[in-house]
Structure 1
């Protein structure tokens, strides 16, 4: 009789089913690998879409060019997505190498390091997306009480491309949150497995 990879022997001693856990480990690693490269791809896409976005409007004889640097929230979003994309590339390569070599498990210090950085990256991406989304709402809807104009009425192309970049960043943020949960599970499972091993002795 077994449940989640742990069974009970006739002597009521917990038995660790290593085969089931190896399958679970491989599924977790595949999920992590896919998410790392999704974050890498969409993070780079978001950065490219926002950084290359610009639109020039002429007001009487004055030309005004809109770029992402005009909004500090977009600068923050670009930096955050650049960082998380670079980090995901490194971690994705680590996952790929560990799967090729067959070493799916890692030690506690490394697990703590990955968990900690994943948490930081998740918070940074969520904060960046939240700030950019709030700025996007003001640009789209304006704020009549503060006499803020609807900027997107004047810079429609610019706003549309920023919206595409923001949509990519939202997926990156959600994926990073899921990854932080996976790294937390991988970390605390190491402590759970040590308890099982102690019970066997």
Structure 2
């Protein structure tokens, strides 16, 4: 019988593949590090683009200034991006330290905490992007039934920069969703047949 092959109760060969599992886990960890730093970078970029966005127009001899605080959805987007960036920075540092030390600072309680936080951040960033996107659509196309004008016809630069921030935020939300899947893998593998072999090393 080849090493690493067992017989299941139904007499079907089962390959446990410890080495292969470790290689998969290493790729998952590298992907986690990359995603966390992408979220940090784009989260900061998205928050900076939206929060620094202003445009002044003169309408009927009156100066009107558009800023992100005029739309609560954009305020929510900036806050969500800031929280996601800060959280990902902390988790990214944890991952890098683990890689340098060659061990995982990991147990079931910590795995559950990371999984739960990743889930919350994924839902929060998705909700923020959805709310901001809805406001952006109204600003771009207006709502004739309610006599809401197309704000972007007046504040083109403002809307363009908000759009750039939305794109960055959208990538952040997709990355957070992917991370929640990776954290689920990291959590539930601790309950598998290889939990004793793989929970302490990369």
Does the pair score TM above 0.5? yes
Secondary structure of the corresponding residue to residue 63 of structure 2: strand
RMSD: 2.3
Any gaps of 5 or more consecutive residues in structure 2? 198-202
CA contact (8 A) 2:115 2:180 kept: yes
1:104: Cα distance to partner?
3.7
1:192: Cα distance to partner?
1.4
Any residues of structure 2 matched to 1:5-154 within 5 Å, and which?
7-9=4-6, 16-104=16-104, 106-154=106-154
Count of residues in correspondence between the two structures = 194
Bigger drift between 99-108 and 68-77 goes to 99-108
Residues 128-162 of structure 1 deviation map (CA, whole Å, 9 limit, x = unaligned) = 00000000000000000000000000000000000
The CA distance in 1 between the partners of 2:106 and 2:128, in whole Å, is 31
Residues 90-125 of structure 1 deviation map (CA, whole Å, 9 limit, x = unaligned) = 000000011111114721001000000000000000
The CA distance in 2 between the partners of 1:33 and 1:120, in whole Å, is 19
| Structure 1 length-normalised TM | 0.90
Secondary structure of the corresponding residue to residue 192 of structure 2: helix
Bigger drift between 152-161 and 59-68 goes to 59-68
Residues 40-67 of structure 1 deviation map (CA, whole Å, 9 limit, x = unaligned) = 0000000110111100000122100000
1:9: Cα distance to partner?
2.6
> Per the alignment, do residues 85 and 106 of structure 1 end up closer, same or farther by CA in structure 2, a change over 3 Å counting?
same
Any gaps of 5 or more consecutive residues in structure 1? none
